[in-house]
Structure 1
């Protein structure tokens, strides 16, 4: 069998396999909500979202003043970027992460404490 003929059969099989996996994995992700987080940013945000969200003592007033609701915070926990250089990933008992994103078309930085059973929002700062 010639090399080009074998290569053709290989490419046909590879194409069918890729199409099959694409539909199979797409179905699994949409139905069960399964996420494949391989990068550190995605893994940290997924861990912060998976725990109940609590607020520090001064955050209730700050959220009312700046007109920020829990939906906005959940959006940032899904679409934000973790600034690892400003985070304290080795703190005990709760790791501290700085999540950056846009709130009402302004750059914002949210400071979260990632404890064993809860995620605590410590502060919100807007960048000019």
Structure 2
């Protein structure tokens, strides 16, 4: 058999194999809620999203002002950027994380979270 036919058979089989792996394993991962996070930013945000959220009175006061709401906080915890120069420091028996994101009006916001082993606490919300 000529080389070009062997190469064609090989590539055809390779594409079929890749399709099945992506289709079946991708669907299995999505149905189980599996998220692959290898970068530090993604891992921190995933850890904060998994835990129950408590809100301090100061942050609750800022949420009631109307320029930011809880959906903005949740989207920041999903798509935000962790400022590691100010984060991952011991604070009140937990670790503090400063996360930058945007609200629904596309304004820059900064949220400060305290990460405890069993919960995450929204310390404050600031408009930049």
Range into which the TM-score falls when normalised by the shorter chain: 0.7 to 0.9
Give ranges in structure 1 of 5+ residues lacking alignment. none
SS at match of 1:116: coil
- Determine the structure 1 residue equivalent to 2:33: 33
- Determine the structure 2 residue equivalent to 1:118: 119
- Determine the structure 1 residue equivalent to 2:102: 102
Q: Segments of 4+ in structure 1 off by > 6 A? A: none
- Determine the structure 2 residue equivalent to 1:13: 13
Cα distance in 1 for partners of 2:86, 2:6 equals 54
Per-residue deviation, 1:90: 4.1
Per-residue deviation, 1:46: 0.6
Per-residue deviation, 1:9: 2.5
How many residues are aligned here? 126
Cα distance in 2 for partners of 1:8, 1:62 equals 62
- Determine the structure 2 residue equivalent to 1:72: 72
SS at match of 2:117: coil
Give ranges in structure 2 of 5+ residues lacking alignment. none
Q: TM-score, normalised by structure 2?
A: 0.86
Is the 2:63–2:70 contact (alpha carbons within 8 Å) kept by the matching residues of 1?
Answer: no
